[in-house]
């Protein structure tokens, strides 16, 4: 929030407003311009570091010009080595293009939710009580890139379709998932990125 008020870079501010905030609903544990040591004993800055045990996630926003079109061979190699060093130091790395943040925000939001579901999906807000089966379905919904059908849930969890339908309805009632758009009759659900009652 402080960085937004002080004036963060355009691409980074766009990411915060149209991707991260829409998908997650808070900035807790997200640090902009996070300083790290590099492989040449210097310092570099990660656009955003999500520091939440047991992982450290580096999020980089790359414009086509400075990161591809206008780059020379030396800098190209340096960028790759920089990412390799982060991985060797135990960081998980996510990269987004400026064009995707500008024109494909929903795709970027899904990627954020995907990593949250994959790496942190077993945790929940203390204000919302979920059954173990609901947690499993939340992980599936957060990591799925397509709408989740009762049959999909039943196959993944080894339960009957009618039970899967009941669990999905329960999560919908709690505001965690919503019916896939454009459906007159509810046949599948998607993760509700706008829901702020459940924080991964």
Q: Is 35 helix (H, G, I), strand (E, B) or coil?
A: strand
Whose tokens are 């009759």? That residue is: 185
Burial class (CB in 10 A: 0-12, 13-18, 19+), 146: exposed
* Inter-residue contact 59 to 94 (CB < 8 Å): yes
Regions of the chain short of the pLDDT cut 70:
1-8, 39-41, 64-72, 74, 122-129, 142-145, 181-187, 190-200
> What was the pLDDT predicted at 15?
93
> What was the pLDDT predicted at 199?
32
> What was the pLDDT predicted at 127?
43
Which tens digit of pLDDT belongs to each residue from 166-186?
Answer: 998 888 887 778 887 655 555
DSSP for residue 148: B
Sign, Cα dihedral of 59, 63, 64, 66: negative
> What was the pLDDT predicted at 170?
87
Which tens digit of pLDDT belongs to each residue from 65-88?
Answer: 554 555 667 677 777 878 788 888
* Inter-residue contact 121 to 97 (CB < 8 Å): no
> What was the pLDDT predicted at 100?
92
């Amino acid at each position: 929030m402080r960085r937004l008020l002080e004036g963060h870079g355009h691409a980074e501010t766009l990411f915060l407003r149209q991707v991260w905030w829409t998908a997650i609903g808070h900035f807790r544990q997200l640090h902009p311009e996070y300083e790290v040591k590099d492989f040449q004993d210097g310092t570099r800055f990660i656009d955003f570091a999500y520091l939440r045990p047991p992982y450290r996630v580096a999020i980089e926003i790359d414009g086509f010009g400075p990161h591809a079109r206008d780059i020379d061979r030396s800098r190209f190699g340096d960028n790759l080595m920089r990412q390799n060093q982060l991985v060797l130091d135990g960081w998980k790395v996510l990269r987004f293009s400026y064009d995707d943040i500008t024109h494909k925000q929903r795709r970027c939001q899904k990627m954020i939710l995907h990593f949250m579901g994959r790496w942190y999906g077993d945790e929940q807000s203390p204000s919302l009580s979920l059954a173990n089966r609901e947690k499993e379905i939340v992980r599936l919904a957060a990591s799925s890139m397509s709408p989740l059908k009762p049959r999909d849930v039943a196959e993944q969890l080894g339960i009957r379709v009618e039970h899967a339908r009941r669990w999905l309805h329960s999560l919908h009632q709690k505001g965690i998932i919503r019916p896939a758009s454009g459906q007159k009759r509810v046949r599948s659900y998607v993760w509700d990125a706008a829901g702020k009652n459940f924080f991964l």
